[in-house]
Amino acid sequence: MKNKSDFSITFTRRGEVNGRCFSFSLQQCVFTFIACVCLLTGFIFAGVHYYRMWEQTLDYARLKLEVDRLQREEEETKVAAKQLGDRISELQVTAQKLRIASGFDPDSLGGSGGPASKADPVLSLSSGDLSRHFRTLDRKRITLQTELRQLQDYYTTREILLASTPSIMPVRGYPSDRFGKRVDPITGEDDYHPGIDISAPRGSKVVATADGLVVFAGRRHDYGNLVTIEHKFGVSTRYGHLQNFVVKPGQRVKRGDIIGYVGSTGRTTGPHLHYEVRLRNQALNPLRFLQDSDN
């Protein structure tokens, strides 16, 4: 006699009358259901736990790689900071020497020394100290850039000044008449000579004595065939009595470039070059520039 609370399940094959019957009590069904629920919940919790552990393992691996990368970058940064500091120190010494050589700094460089140490303190700095060290280096860099820019401007100006200074002889020859007061070779009267005369064989090469711009090349009164070159800083030069010239107005020339050949055109007693140096159209003695030149 089956209990009313029992459940039964019968399995039969097609065509058969009798089959196998399985009976379950309500208590057994409830127990089985609870066991299934617990088992399923256990599987779910195990899966979630495994997933979280897997994520944490990935996060740890990523963090480990990131920490290793940051450590390498920190070491590289320390080495770079050391190299940068050494380079800035070298440039500071070079800038100091240039300031002394240029006259910017009247003080001498002075002595230097001290005990040597193989260990560099920069390599043992912490991250915060390293950041402060970089800020200090950056300030030094800005100061050094300003100083080097000033020195560059100075040497650029000096280079332009030297290139624009008429400091070489315009022709191979010997002086035949001086600058200033003289006796006119044609009239025999007192005269003022705004340049010097350099005797040389007819056809001798005449060169520009400094870099500049040709502003005149042609015939002019007593000068005969004349070339006038304008240089920087208000300086100009004149080359007179030329047999002929090989430059034209608007042409730029360099020191040593051929501009013409010795002749006796204009007011002259024979072949020679009349050479003038002018500062803002005021005649100066060309020999002063030759004496002050290092060439």
Q: What is the CATH number of the domain that holds 202?
A: 2.70.70.10
185 and 92 inside one domain: no
Mean pLDDT, residues 178-195? 86
pLDDT above 80 for 246: yes
| Gap between the Cα atoms of 92 and 27, Å rounded | 94
| Lowest mean pLDDT segment, chosen from 95-109, 164-178, 189-203 | 95-109
Q: What is the pLDDT of residue 292?
A: 47
Residue 295 has pLDDT above 50, yes or no: no
Q: Pick the more confident residue, 152 or 277.
A: 277
In a domain, 67, yes or no: yes
Which pTM value belongs to this model?
0.53
Backbone angles phi, psi at 273, to 5 degrees: -110, 125
Q: Do 249 and 214 meet the contact criterion of CB atoms below 8 Å apart?
A: yes
Across the chain, what does the average pLDDT equal? 80
- Please report which confidence band the pLDDT of residue 49 belongs to, taking 50, 70 and 90 as the band edges: confident
Instruction: Tell me which of 210 and 102 has the higher pLDDT.
Output: 210
Mean pLDDT for the stretch of residues 160-185: 87
Which domain-ending residue is among 82, 106, 130?
106
What's residue 189's pLDDT? Answer: 84
Q: Are residues 88 and 190 in the same domain?
A: no
**Domain final residue, candidates 67, 83, 106:** 106
Is residue 53 situated within a structural domain? yes
Give the other-Cβ count within 10 Å of 118's Cβ. Answer: 4
Residue ending a domain, among 106, 136, 155, is 106
- Dig out the tokens for 214 from the structure: 């040709």
Mean pLDDT of all residues in 204-230: 95
Same domain, 184 and 284: yes
Of 100, 69, 291, 285, residue with least CA distance to 194? 285
**Reported confidence tier of residue 238, pLDDT bands at 50, 70, 90:** very high
| 165 falls within a domain | no
pLDDT band at 236 (very low <50, low <70, confident <90, very high): very high
Give 69-115 pLDDT, tens digit per residue. Answer: 877 877 777 777 777 777 777 776 666 666 665 565 545 444 444 44
3-state secondary structure the chain: CCCCCEEEEEECCCCCCCCEEEEEEHHHHHHHHHHHHHHHHHHHHHHHHHHHHHHHHHHHHHHHHHHHHHHHHHHHHHHHHHHHHHHHHHHHHHHHHHHHHHCCCCCCCCCCCCCCCCCCHHHHCCHHHHHHHHHHHHHHHHHHHHHHHHHHHHHHHHHHHHHHCCCCCCCCCEEEECCEEEECCCCCCEEEECCEEEECCCCCEEECCCCEEEEEEEEEHHHEEEEEEECHHHEEEEEEEEEEECCCCCCEECCCCEEEEEECCCCCCCCEEEEEEEECCEEECHHHHHHHCCC
* Segment 234-239 mean pLDDT: 95
Q: 274 lies in a domain?
A: yes
Average pLDDT of the segment spanning 237-265: 96
Q: Are 224 and 240 in contact (CB under 8 A)?
A: yes
163 touches 252 (CB < 8 A): no
Q: Which is more confident, 184 or 100?
A: 184
Q: Which domain holds residue 4?
A: 1-106
94 and 179 in a single domain? The answer is: no
- Between 59 and 94, whose confidence is greater? 59
Residues 191 and 100 in one domain: no
pLDDT value at position 209?
A: 95
In a domain, 132, yes or no: no
The number of distinct structural domains making up the chain is 2
pLDDT at residue 19 greater than cutoff 90: no
